[in-house]
Amino acid sequence: MPRPYDSLDATQLQHDAEDCLLSYGTAFFPEIITSADGIYIETHTGHRMMDFTSGQMSTLLSHAHPEVVKVIHDHAQHLDHLFSGMLSPPVINLAKRLTSIAPAGLDKAFFLSTGGESNEAAIRLAKFYTGKFEIVGLASSWHGMTGASLGAQYHAGRSGYGPNMQGNLALPTPNSYRSIFRRQDGSYDWKTELDYGFDLVDKQSCGSLAAVIIEPILSSGGMLELPAGYLKALKDHCVRRGMLLIVDEAQTGLGRAGDLFAFTHYPEDEGIVPDILTLSKTLGNGLPLSAVMTSNAIAQHAKQNGFLFYTTHINDPLPAAVGDKVVEIVVRDGLVGRSRELGMKLQTGLKKLQSRYGCIGDVRGRGLMAGVEIVCDRTTKEAAPEVGNCVAKKMTEMGLWAQLATMASFGGVFRIAPPLTVTEEELDRALAIMEEALRTTPGTQPLYMAE
């Protein structure tokens, strides 16, 4: 069966793109993508690549999953979009499904479009509930490109646009590979770092601390895991200051990191539940869909006092139906456990590559969410983005899209996130391509005798 873009004039399209598209901060891939199906994406030249970033870290179940396609078709035909004050079965079903699988304390939900929008709503809700306005984020965070969500992130995009939202303060990024906070034995002292960060926050605050917003794994920051016990210590700091804890699981949620919700991973953090949880990316399997979840107490306060976050596409039925199907499949097919098991295989394979190539300074992540940091020197840890770019180009040519992030601020870290439906054979093939790309690229510093 012919596909929509089997015949196209790529040269004309590239010209039209240059003529008509506004630049938004990333270099475009040089070929035009005409197909995305399963784990593969295909260019106009017929070049096929395994998509090991799941689009923008979103297609949790792969591209064009047949059950998701059917839901989209059915709801596009019968129940697509409604007045924002109307309810529909998909919205109610998704809210019921999510609140039934989430820990107690995440009792109510509503649905928006993007991760940035959900974080905007979460921050607005935290300010409304606490009556305060200062928001604390991590120094390598990424929460979105709208006013409050952008103000609470420090990774990129803060300079050149005038004043950011008032009342935003930063904590040091918990980076076990690069942090200067060390014990005498050289191990990472995240607790002292966190306490020091809050000491600085207290000195800068005007006494109106409303919330902390945080990712369990900082993807844009370089796939940085929060240490075991970090969330508990963070929550203690929040409680002492009357702050809420917002957890942003845009990329980690619904099994991506080997747990249904990544904030539940460590026994040291047992019992810690965010006051507000946001989901996006993975929830819609590539469609614009996000969720804000919170407690009955916060929801009741919002209802009684007239909290307002009213948008054109709040609680839209079509994306909610997709989200409901995504969560159903993840739970039904045991994809959380699968992510955990295949994630161990992925980590083992990546650490083997690290043992063979000196340019790999660090391997990290959980589940099917991994980071590989490329360096010039393991002692100085100086980044080597040019080497990483060459390796990425070679991998792309060989049929694997596991790209370095296209913004220089991401620091030369491969972010790897195949769909949870990836097979062991596909993982093996991807690791083999990575090995060959490293072997044949100058500057990767082989640590073994060439055969």
Mean pLDDT by 10 residues, the chain (451 residues): 76 90 86 94 95 96 97 97 97 98 98 97 98 96 88 81 90 95 96 98 98 95 94 98 98 97 97 98 97 98 97 97 98 98 98 97 96 95 92 96 69 91 97 97 85 48
CATH number of 10-64+335-440: 3.90.1150.10
> Closest by alpha carbon to 343, among 312, 368, 378, 380?
368
pLDDT of res. 24: 86
Model pTM score: 0.95
Q: Which residues are catalytic?
A: 142, 215, 248, 251, 281, 415
Residue 283 has phi, psi (to 5 degrees) of: -65, -35
pLDDT of res. 150: 87
Provide DSSP, 106-126.
--EEEEES-HHHHHHHHHHHH
- Residues 6 or more apart in contact with residue 402 via CB below 8 angstroms: 52, 53, 392, 395, 414, 416, 430, 434
For the CA atoms of 264, 266, 268, 272, the dihedral, rounded to the nearest 10 degrees, stands at -10
Provide DSSP, 43-86.
ETT--EEEETTHHHHT-TT-BT-HHHHHHHHHHHHH-----TT-
Give the start-end residues of each E strand in 104-194.
108-112, 134-138, 168-171
pLDDT of res. 411: 65
What distance in Å separates the CA atoms of residue 111 and residue 405, rounded to the nearest whole number?
28
What distance in Å separates the CA atoms of residue 235 and residue 347, rounded to the nearest whole number?
29
Q: Where are the alpha helices (DSSP H) in 369-423?
A: 385-397
Residue 37 has phi, psi (to 5 degrees) of: -150, 120
Q: Where are the alpha helices (DSSP H) in 285-423?
A: 296-305, 317-332, 335-356, 385-397
What distance in Å separates the CA atoms of residue 316 and residue 76, rounded to the nearest whole number?
11
Strand partners, 248: 278
What distance in Å separates the CA atoms of residue 218 and residue 177, rounded to the nearest whole number?
13
Domain boundaries, the chain: 10-64+335-440, 67-332
What distance in Å separates the CA atoms of residue 263 and residue 125, rounded to the nearest whole number?
20
C-alpha distances out from residue 29 to 2, 43, 93, 100, 405, Å: 24, 10, 38, 41, 12
What distance in Å separates the CA atoms of residue 409 and residue 406, rounded to the nearest whole number?
9
Residue 276 has phi, psi (to 5 degrees) of: -140, 130
Q: Quickly count: other Cβ atoms within 10 Å of residue 120's Cβ.
A: 27
Q: Can you read off the two tokens belonging to residue 422?
A: 């990836």
CATH number for 67-332 (one of 3.90.870.10, 3.40.640.10, 3.30.70.3280, 2.70.50.60): it is 3.40.640.10
